[in-house]
Amino acid sequence: MYRAKRAALSPKVKRRVGKYELGRTIGEGTFAKVRFAKNTETMEPVAIKILDKEKVQKLRLVEQIRREICTMKLIKHPNVVRLHEVMGSKARIFIVLEYITGGELFDTIYTNGRLKEEEARKYFQQLINAVDYCHSRGVYHRDLKLENLLLDAAGNLKVSDFGLSALTEQVKADGLLHTTCGTPNYVAPEVIEDRGYDGAAADIWSCGVILFILLAGFLPFEDENIIALYKKISEAQFTCPSWFSTGAKKLITRILDPNPATRITIPQILEDPWFKKGFKPPVFDDKYETSFDDVYAAFGDSEDQHVKEETEHKPTSMNAFELISLNQGLNLDNLFEAKEEHKRETRFTSQCPPKEIISKIAEAARPLGFDIQKKNYKMRMENPKAGRKGNLNVATEGVSSSSIPTCG
């Protein structure tokens, strides 16, 4: 009851960033928070990733974050989470993303176990479509895993989190990437060996691990000892369960080939008989021009290009009954609300003066060992001897009939 009253007294706060009205927090990390928001012009729901500029600079992650944003601006595919726009204020960066409501594919597997082959194939087809598109734009994800695969309201797969992605400009003179990254259970053997690797081949390996999990309900490579885990990955020590179809086994074996030179490629996957069954090519409009002006403006120091952050306080209006109910002794909630929990209370009235009533209570409490403090019509009693639930405290307050409001 106390909490409900405090909430009623607190003013409603609306926070806006540009044309977006911010709502509840739906995710939180070390230096970033993701909040649900609404475009006040179109009423479209979005997710806004909010980054603290100072924290990003201290962690020396400015270039990585900028790269993530630029990467996502290059990708506009029905199976990739879309980045709508980027905004910046003096203290924060706001990345406006497509709002996905279906949760993570990981949760589906964790809750329901392995998928039927037809369903697993559909998700794998969408994953390969998205990865192929990214590779065609010179973008390698490098951290493909179930947790980074989301589902929209229609059950379609959406690839997210390009925080570890790499552009072709980062490829060294030998034509390979050299940054060791990714999640251990999904990472390709050549990434572990740290001798340089082809980003496309490494992504394909991760896709193979994902397909295995979708069909099996568990990881192909797992060990509590990280050295033992890396050994299993490097030697491709895995076994397909008996319920895998022949076509699925053959494809997974070709994908989880520890030699990137002989590992199956995406063009070859697209021609695989098991993969092609029921295949539906993605439909999207790729005719657009990509501008990074908003990215530079968001990370810049020019206040003219900063977005406005506004906080609007709206006082809560209260009717007469709500005002009266703020007095615990005159709580009228039980007349209007059905409560799941019922608290038994004993109330009494007396024609005696408040001072006399308080004196009678004190007189009865002293023999029980209570310390008594009195002031005007208020009295506080405390038992110095603690029980299982601590010290017993009792507070009383006398209210004369003249102080009770009446309704004419």
d(C-alpha 209, C-alpha 223), whole Å: 15
Answer positive or negative: Cα dihedral of 177, 183, 186, 191: positive
Instruction: Specify the residue for token string 């379609």.
Output: 156
Strand partners of residue 391: none
pTM of the model: 0.65
d(C-alpha 159, C-alpha 182), whole Å: 15
Answer positive or negative: Cα dihedral of 362, 365, 369, 375: negative
Residue 140 has what pLDDT?
Answer: 83
| Binding residue positions | 49
d(C-alpha 234, C-alpha 189), whole Å: 5
Structure tokens at 51: 């980054």
Domains of the chain as residue ranges with CATH = 2-99+296-314 (3.30.200.20), 105-276 (1.10.510.10), 345-408 (3.30.310.80)
Clarify whether 257 is annotated catalytic: no
Active-site option among 132, 143, 203, 257: 143
Residue 258 has what pLDDT?
Answer: 94
At a CB cut-off of 8 Å and minimum separation 6, what does 305 contact? Answer: 88, 297
Diameter of the chain by CA atoms?
97
Residue 292 has what pLDDT?
Answer: 81
337-349 burial: b if 16+ Cβ within 10 Å, else e: eeeeeeeeeeeee
Sequential pLDDT tens for the chain (408 residues)? 334 444 444 455 678 888 999 999 887 776 678 899 999 999 999 999 888 888 888 878 788 788 778 877 878 889 998 888 899 888 888 989 889 888 889 888 988 899 999 999 999 999 999 999 888 888 888 789 998 899 998 999 999 876 434 433 443 344 433 344 447 889 889 888 877 778 899 999 999 999 999 999 999 999 889 899 999 999 999 999 999 999 999 999 999 999 999 999 999 999 999 999 999 888 766 555 677 888 888 887 777 778 878 776 555 556 655 555 555 555 555 554 444 444 454 556 677 777 777 778 878 877 777 777 776 666 777 776 654 334 566 666 655 444 444 343
Instruction: Specify the residue for token string 């980027």.
Output: 86
